[in-house]
Amino acid sequence: MKQERTRSQMSWAFYDWANSAFATTVMAGFFPLFFKQYWSQGSEATTSTFWLGVGNSGASFLILLMAPLLGALADSGGLHKRLLAGFALLGIVCTAGFFLVGAGEWQWAILLYVVAIIGFSGANVFYDAMLPSLTGAADFHKLSALGYSLGYLGGGVLFLLNVAMTLSPELFGLADAAEAVRYSFLSVAVWWFVFMLPLLLGVPEQSATSTGRLSVRSETSKLLDTLKQIRRQRNLWMFLLAYWLYIDGVATIIRMAVDYGLAIGLPQNTLITALLLVQFIGFPATLVFGRIGQRYGAKTGLWIGLWAYVIATIGAAFMTSSIEFYVLAVALGLVQGGVQSLSRSLFSQLIPPGKNGEYFGFLNMLGKAAAVMGPLLVGVVAATTGNSRVGLLSILLLFLAGMYFLRKVDDSLQTQTQTPTPA
pLDDT at 423: 38
Residue 220 lies inside a defined structural domain of this protein = no
Mean local confidence (pLDDT), 181-208: 91
Mean local confidence (pLDDT), 187-200: 96
Residue 314 lies inside a defined structural domain of this protein = yes
Check whether 58 has a pLDDT greater than 80: no
Mean local confidence (pLDDT), 312-338: 89
* Per-residue pLDDT band at 103 (split at 50, 70, 90): confident
Check whether 83 has a pLDDT greater than 70: yes
Over residues 358-372, the pLDDT tens digits come to: 677 777 677 766 666
* Per-residue pLDDT band at 205 (split at 50, 70, 90): confident
Look up the CATH number of the domain holding residue 39.
1.20.1250.20
What's the N-to-C CA distance of the chain in angstroms?
Answer: 7
Residue 137 lies inside a defined structural domain of this protein = yes
Mean local confidence (pLDDT), 105-133: 88
Cα 31 to the center of its chain, rounded Å: 16
Count of the separate structural domains present in the chain: 1
- Give the CA angle between residues 325, 331, 336 to the nearest 5°: 115
Could you tell me if 330 and 240 are in contact, meaning their C-beta atoms sit under 8 angstroms apart?
no
Residue 221 lies inside a defined structural domain of this protein = no
Which has the minimum average pLDDT: 37-41, 143-147, 203-207?
203-207
Residue 143 lies inside a defined structural domain of this protein = yes
Check whether 260 has a pLDDT greater than 80: no
In sequence order, what DSSP letters do the residues of 383-405 get, joined into one string?
HHHT-HHHHHHTHHHHHHHHHHH
Residue 411 lies inside a defined structural domain of this protein = no
- Between the ranges 48-52, 112-116, 230-234, 263-267, where is the mean pLDDT highest? 112-116
Structural domain containing residue 169: 2-206+228-406
